[in-house]
Each structure stands twice: as C-alpha cells, then as structure tokens.
Structure 1
Amino acid sequence: MSDYKQSCIILDKPSGISSNQALSKVKKKISQKKAGFSGTLDPLASGLLIIFFNKATKLCSYFLNADKSYEAIAILGKTSTTGDLDGDILSSNNIPDLKKLDISMLEKKYTGIIKQTPPMYSAIKHKGVRLYKYAREGINIDLPPREIEIFSIKINIIDNSQLFIKVRCSKGTYIRTLVEQIGIDIGCGALVSKLVRTGINDINISKSVGLENFLSSSDEEICKKYIINGDLLLSKTSTCFVSDLNKEQILKGNKVKIKSEPCELIRIYDKDKNFLGIGKINEELELLPKKILV
C-alpha cells in the first residue's frame, strides 16, 4: 500500500481552512504529488473530504457527482455577502415568532427538485474564472438558476434565532443558498454559522480521520489505519472478475463479452482479485471499461 497507486483517505476537514490547504497538508505529509478531492468544502465548512492519490484520482468525478448529506446551523435575522459568517454582514432584521413558524410547510417546499442560483462566492467557473474571484473584485455575474434535488430535509428550532437543518441532496446543491432561501421565506433573512458534510453516497463521516490526527500520525499508522484502496469506497457496487485474456483487452480500453446482468456501474477485478477499475455492462452483455486504475 505504500506506493499509494490506488489509495484514498477519508478526511474530516476542519473549519477554518480551504479544501486545497487541507489537500496540500496531506500531500506533504505522505510525500505525494498527484492527488485530488471529492468536491470543494468552503473554508467555514468542515466534514467529509475524500482525497484520492495517483491512479485513484480517476474516481474523483464519480464522488463529485454523488449525493451529499449535510448538517447546518442557520442564524436568522442576518444576511451576508457570502451567505455565512465569513462574509460581511449586509442586513440585520427582526425575527418573527418562531412558535408560529410552519416547519412542515418549509420542509415540504424544499423537498424534491428546486431551483437555485449559485452564489457568487463559489468555485464555479464563468469564462474560465472562478466566481469568487469576480466577487472579490466587486463584479456580479448574472447566472441562471439551476435545478437541484433535495431528497430529504429536516428543520429543527434551536432557539429564538437559530435553526438546525439536516439535508440529503444532489450534486450542485449550495447549503448557503438553501439557508438564504429559507430565511427569505421566514421573512428575516438567514446565514450559515456552521456547516458539516456528513455523507457522500453511503460513506459516513464516522469513517473519517481528523486532519490533525492524520498529520500527527506516523507513516506506519497512516498506512495501517487511514489509507484505503479506492475500490473499498465502492463497497456496495456490483463486482465482476475477468480472465487474463479479457483483462488484456480491458486494460487497452476495449469492451469484452461477459456473462453477467446489465449494470450501470461495476467494479472490475482480475482473477487474482486485483482491482482494475470501474465499468458498465450494457444490454448486449458487453463490459465497457470507464475508469482503469492500473
């Protein structure tokens, strides 16, 4: 495992640093040059950040497009330039009596497919430039709203000025924007004071290692406790094994006939149980390699 060819780390990024800063610290600790992660977390946000090394970086897009779970604390009565406490406060408003708030109505409104306009302080690119770079220059880009999906949302009142919000959602969902939308509906505005990404697909934050814990561990501890092979992140995905002849074709990117049911995503192994990558089995029972990791 020490060559990190197909390796990953399930990291719990702390609040206060960017995803790229966390990535740089991890790369430096284990002396790796090629690495990527599964979706940017804002500096204020903490939680799951899966880091992929070398060949495993080919899996980044799969997890970038995966469903995510979050827990957030919203402060009511305030809005900011960034939608969270990291920005400049734009307004302070009176908060209505939350005892009269119809929580179930809000939850119903924000369940299913909804539209969101991406915030200016985000990593989305416009004409090749990140939106947050425009925002820092005081330039506002008029972006069209995008459809995202909220699979589940639970809102609880913490006190007379704060809400706890738990969300499972599709890729491209901005929790800061969701909180702002909820604040508008309540009639006082809102911003995020705390945000934790708790899940990516079926990977839970309970499986993660904190950044400081990781950085203070020995190389032996890291390899034994925290480094995992990329295929283990897909433990609930179907599996197939290929012969040496088919392996040769798969490694060339060629499709092969296989005795298995059609499947949109499948893990591919050789007869010695070495992970080769992921693929798809079509209706003609052909195995089509998508991402080869060897």
Structure 2
Amino acid sequence: MTKTLADFDFETGEVLLLDKPLTWTSFDVVRKVKNTLRIKKIGHAGTLDPLATGLLILCTGKKTKEIDQIQAQEKEYTGTFRLGETTPSFDLETAVDMARPYAHITDEQITAATAQFTGLIQQTPPIFSAVKIDGKRAYELARTGQEAEIKAKTVEIKTFEITRIALPEVDFRVVCSKGTYIRSLARDLGVALGCGAHLTRLVRTRIGEYRVEDAFTLDAIQALRPPRPDSEASTLPGTTRSRHERPNTAPNRAGLQYFAALQADALAAKHLKDATEKSAE
C-alpha cells in the first residue's frame, strides 16, 4: 500500500519527496513545509534552482542525519537548451547577452557533441551559483558586477542523451554525479557547437532511487495544515489570528514573466547604453 501524508511521523523522522514549483527556492519550500506542518527539525537534501522544478527531498527529525548520504547519490534531469543565445547566468535568470547563428547546425553535430561531456569531466560552475569565493557566494559577487575566478572541478556525466531537436530548442536527459551544474553543461555544449546556448527548462526527475513520480505537491502538504492551537488564537471572542503568507506577487512567485521582465529591462538598458556610446563617438 502506498504511504499517504497522513501516515507520516514527521517529528520522529521521515524522508519526504516534494515536487518543487517553478520560481520557489529550496529554502522557500523547506520553510513552507515547516510552518504548515509545524515540524521542528527539517532540511533538504540537495538544492534546486528557482527556475528548476522537480524532485526536492526533505528530511525531518532523525532522518536529517541521512541528508549527506542522499545528497551524494546520482541525479537525473530532463530539460531544454536554447541554441544561438547566451546569458551570464547560463539560464533565464539573466538577459541574453549574445546571439549567434544556429540554423546551420545539424542533428548529427548536436548528438556527436555530447560525447565529449560524458564520463569524468572538468566543469566550471556558473558565476551565478552558490559556490564560495573567498568566503562569499559567487552569485553575490556577480550581482554586484564584481569579477571572480571560479575553479573547475571534476564531475561525472553518466548519461547525456538528446531526446528532441527542434532548433533552436534541444531537449535532453542527463544522469550525473553530485555537484554537476546543468547550466554549465548548456554553456559548454553551446561552446562546442560554436553558437552558444543556455538552459531554459530543467526538471530533476530522480535522486538515487527516489523519483519525482512519487513526490507530493505543496498543495497536498497544505491540505494537511493543522488548526492553530488555542494558545495562538486571538483573545477576542469568535476570532482567530490569521496566518501570514507571502503575497503571490512576490518576485519569487511571479514565474517566468518576472524573469522575462528582468531580461527585457536589462536588454533595454544595454541597447540604451550602446546607443549612447555610439552617439558619443
């Protein structure tokens, strides 16, 4: 029999599979589940970027001791690369900064290019990542315009399969080791093909034997929300204190429209700057 949420003993310890919504940070999900179910001890076993969806594993109670073990297991992802355009973050979080022709690239060239990115490879993480540089997160430096050098590291790509080609879009399936950046894989494939590329969609489908098909949604978690204890109720007769929720208009809830707006603003600023510099010549 499949275990339901009502069967979980979160305080003692559980491994909970969540299907992370688009634009939510992993910390957002942890906080939401913690507050909704009133779990004292909870953490996640492997971050997902805000623009990625799919499997996020939460551990509660005594099961938090298994987080490192779960994080070390291989990961599987599916998603989409867009050829012919690059972005500083290697995904949709930042505006396109360069466009190149791609129509001449054949299906055979794309498939053949994946071979150099399988096995043990050296990969450089994105500057817009949580990698630490001199005690600071790389993305903190990147967002303030500071330059920083990130060292390459060894990762393992066990499977790099192209599942659909409809230029400029290329769909893929990747099975890889802990620490692999799919955004960097998009960048590297674009370099290999000579046209540039960035990641436009990413779904984590598996961590070890845990699969996204078995994951719960946040709506299902929300349905288990217990009533507030009497001690938290208002002292006014017939009233209760309302829970504080972040507004749906918050940036990390606005979806791809928010990031598209960011890109449009950044691109407009770049065009204005280029036009100003050209007129000053």
TM-score where L is the length of structure 2: 0.74
- Aligned mates of 1:39, 1:194 — CA distance in 2: 18
1:205 and 2:186 aligned: no
- Aligned mates of 1:14, 1:117 — CA distance in 2: 27
Q: Give unpaired runs (5+ residues) of structure 2.
A: 1-7, 227-281
Q: Look up the match of 1:53.
A: 60
Alignment of 1:68-83 (within 5 A): 68-83=75-90
Q: Look up the match of 1:97.
A: 104
Matched letter for residue 96 of structure 2: I
Residue number among 133, 149, 155 corresponding to 2:140 in the alignment: 133
- Aligned mates of 2:23, 2:146 — CA distance in 1: 25
How far the C-alpha of 1:107 sits from its partner, in A, is 2.6
Q: Look up the match of 1:286.
A: none
Structure 2 residue matching 1:4: 3-state secondary structure: coil
Higher relative helix content:
2
- Aligned mates of 1:155, 1:65 — CA distance in 2: 25
- Aligned mates of 1:105, 1:2 — CA distance in 2: 49
Q: Give unpaired runs (5+ residues) of structure 1.
A: 220-294
How far the C-alpha of 1:11 sits from its partner, in A, is 0.4
How far the C-alpha of 1:218 sits from its partner, in A, is 5.1
How far the C-alpha of 1:100 sits from its partner, in A, is 5.5
Closer, same or farther: CA 3–112 of 1 in aligned 2, 3 Å: closer
Structure 2 residue matching 1:152: 3-state secondary structure: strand
Structure 2 residue matching 1:29: 3-state secondary structure: helix
TM-score where L is the length of structure 1: 0.71
Closer, same or farther: CA 217–147 of 1 in aligned 2, 3 Å: same
CA RMSD across the alignment: 1.8
- Identity rate of aligned residues, in percent? 34
- If asked which structure has higher relative contact order (CA below 8 Å, sep 6+), I would say 2
1:62 and 2:69 aligned: yes
Matched letter for residue 194 of structure 1: R
How far the C-alpha of 1:99 sits from its partner, in A, is 3.0
Matched letter for residue 170 of structure 1: S
- Aligned mates of 2:30, 2:10 — CA distance in 1: 18
Q: Is the 8 A contact 1:70 1:167 kept in 2?
A: yes
Residue number among 212, 218, 221 corresponding to 1:214 in the alignment: 221
